[in-house]
Amino acid sequence: MVKKVQKSTASSKASASASPLAGAIKDSAQQIWLAGLGAFSKAQEEGGKAFESLVKEGLSIQRKTQAVAEERISEASSRMSSMATEISSKATGQWDKLENLFEERVAKALNKLGVPSARDVDALIARIDELSQHVQRLSGKPVAAAKAAPRKAAPAKAAAKPAARKTSRAKAA
């Protein structure tokens, strides 16, 4: 143990001569440590402020992005709506053309079968009325004025069909 004490006194003598340098290094290290703690503390304070600032900026950008996205969606939906309207009108036009074409072909087919058209039936009704008036004049009966109400087409068609059949049979014979 004595040796230890002597060694420590020897090292204290050596450190006494080197103590101004060691003390300066120790003080410098202490100041560096304190400066680091101060920098860390400042970074924590300003980091919180910077974080809040970034959150606010992010919220602002998010709102702007949502507004632009909603605007784009609105534009796209209006375009789709106008396209749907345009397609619908084109489809309606095509449907009308198809309907007219169908009606024309049915009329041709009925005509080939000898079925009179509505125009033919109306012409026959007018001719029958004219002939009826002519017969009444010839028979000496007073001529009745033409009826104001138009005749129903269904009975006239039924009457016209047998006449058309008779004429087609006469042609065949």
Q: What is the DSSP string of 2-36?
A: HHHHHHHHHHHHHHHHHHHHHHHHHHHHHHHHHHH
> Is 105 inside a domain boundary?
no
> Is 58 inside a domain boundary?
no
What is the pTM for the complete model shown?
0.35
> Is 13 inside a domain boundary?
no
> Is 133 inside a domain boundary?
yes
Rounded CA separation 65/55 (Å): 15
**What is the count of structural domains for the chain?**
1
What element of type H or E holds 157? helix 153-172
What element of type H or E holds 135? helix 118-139
> Is 145 inside a domain boundary?
yes
Range of the domain at 132: 116-173
> Is 127 inside a domain boundary?
yes
Q: What is the pLDDT of residues 117-153, one digit of tens each?
A: 888 899 999 999 999 999 999 988 765 555 544 555 4
